[in-house]
Amino acid sequence: MSRLVTRRCAQLAAAVSVLALACFAAPATASARGLSSTRLELGVNSAPDQLSWMTASGVPWKYRYQYLAGGVNTSSSWLHWQAASAPPGQFAADYMSASGGAGYIPFFAWYELLQSSPSSGPDEASRDFSNLNNGGTMDAYYASFKVLMQRAGAYGRPVVVLVEPDFWGYMQQKARSLGSPSADAVPAVVASSGFADVAGYANTAAGFGKALLHLRDVYAPNAIMAVDAAPWSTGVDVDASTSAGLDVAGEADATAAFLATTGGWDAVSTDPDDHDAGWWVATGRTNSSFTHSWDASNARFPNFHRWESWIGRIHAHLGLPAMSWQTPVGNSTLTDACDQSTGVGHYRDNVVEYFLGHPAELAAAGLVAVLFGAGNGCQTTPYNDGNVLRNLARAYYAGAPAALPLPAPSQSASAAPSPAPAATDSPAVATAAPPRAVTRTAATGPLGGRAGLAAAALGVILLAGAAAGGVVLWRRGALPRLLRRPRSAGSG
């Protein structure tokens, strides 16, 4: 069979898969714990000082999300993100209260394991696993999570907690290295931590997930617990592979089967990328077999239909509503730019345009919500994108398809930084991509590969604001991840 025929067959198979999801997938419905509704809902990354932008945007956003990070046993822990006179964890309580008061469901990305002490190892996977098996660290970990659950319980309304994005992908890879498809094979400190509330749970990664769900059940039955599906967890990056013969169903089934062993979650989430598409091209992290460019015509790989097929199959396998969070905000009207001194910038992408132009496809794949926000420094945010996301979201909720050109924004967008991105440590040779109106100009999938790849752009940004009784410190919403995800061989 010729290469052209093989490729066309693969494209047809992907299209058939998407159509099958549209025909047979159940429509989005409210879950037992109050997740979502009868339509695809939208949200944005929003730090405490950005709530006013949401309320003034003219968009009936459903979700508002924020990282909780800094480690459970460090001075930068989320427990200390408020005035010293306030009780530990008041930051989260205030965030929930403010979100709910404005009509939004708060969504926390609980990202604590990596940054906890001692965090030993050469990469994120090793550091996660090391902390997971440190008795003192895990005792503090469960205590910290209990505080969050107590705060959520006191709030009493729906709140989404995404537990340790990336971590489950690493644990799936760890299980595979141990010859098992199950989280039950991965050692962890749970009962042996000495923390009384989790004494009945196995010392495994599966026990870890079930212990956190137990803490939710006891202290915050209103909390909606989400598990993260990583598109690279099998060792093949579904989001970035250019292979026409990729077994997307097999990749999805392996990830879903592993996640099914980790506990009875309420939702499954995934983030298409933590960088805008254009960043990957501009920094030379793409090649012929590994690219973040999603083709909006769905003729080349990777593309949107492939991603929908992958997450749709995981949704169907687990029987859980799916959410896309930390969804790139870049758009095709932007000029790629980054101010290296401040980490402020924006790059081109097309996910906003495609997603809001094809909401029925997303709903057919089991998605109940899409939350937009930057995952690293110098990436586009809802606040510096020229108001494209705001205007397309407004049109979506009004029943109009996403389209460009957009009406002139009624609010001025943040000034765009002008310096070009600095050279990086990637050995890949950058190649200029021709501008494409709505094709993913260079990105998808979780952050690319080598340890330390994004270290220069990452870090915790603390903002100071006035609060009753003292100075409040908080994490600016899109908390960058230190040593991000491993990519398949051939990554930039």
Distances in whole angstroms, Cα of residue 325 to Cα of each of 8, 226, 303, 429: 31, 11, 18, 30
Distances in whole angstroms, Cα of residue 167 to Cα of each of 61, 181, 331, 484: 28, 16, 29, 10
Distance of alpha carbon 326 from alpha carbon 373, whole angstroms: 5
| Eight-state DSSP code of residue 204 | B
Q: How large a percentage of the chain has pLDDT more than 90?
A: 71
Strand partners, 470: 467
Distance of alpha carbon 373 from alpha carbon 381, whole angstroms: 6
Pair 310, 252: CB distance under 8 Å: yes
* pLDDT at residue 118, as a whole number: 98
* pLDDT at residue 11, as a whole number: 47
Phi, psi of 241 (to 5 degrees): -70, 135
- What ranges do the domains of the chain cover? 3-475
* pLDDT at residue 405, as a whole number: 53
Distance of alpha carbon 342 from alpha carbon 383, whole angstroms: 16
The full DSSP string for 95-158 is HHHHHHHTT-EEEEEE--TTTSS---SSSHHHHHHHHHT-HHHHHHHHHHHHHHHHHHHHH-S-
* pLDDT at residue 38, as a whole number: 79
Token code pair at residue 21 = 């999801």
| CATH for 3-475 (3.20.20.100, 3.20.20.80, 3.40.50.2000, 3.20.20.70) | 3.20.20.80
* pLDDT at residue 443, as a whole number: 32
Average pLDDT per 10 consecutive residues for the chain, totaling 492 residues: 43 44 38 69 98 98 98 97 97 98 98 98 98 98 98 97 98 98 98 98 98 98 98 96 97 98 97 93 90 93 98 97 97 95 95 96 95 96 97 94 51 34 29 30 32 31 36 38 37 32
311-332 residue pLDDT tens:
999 999 999 999 999 999 999 9
pTM of this structure: 0.81
**165-202: burial string, b at 16+ Cβ within 10 Å, e else:** bbbbbbbbbbbbeeeeebbebbebbbbebebebbeebb
Beta-strand (E) ranges in 1-117?
41-45, 63-68, 105-110
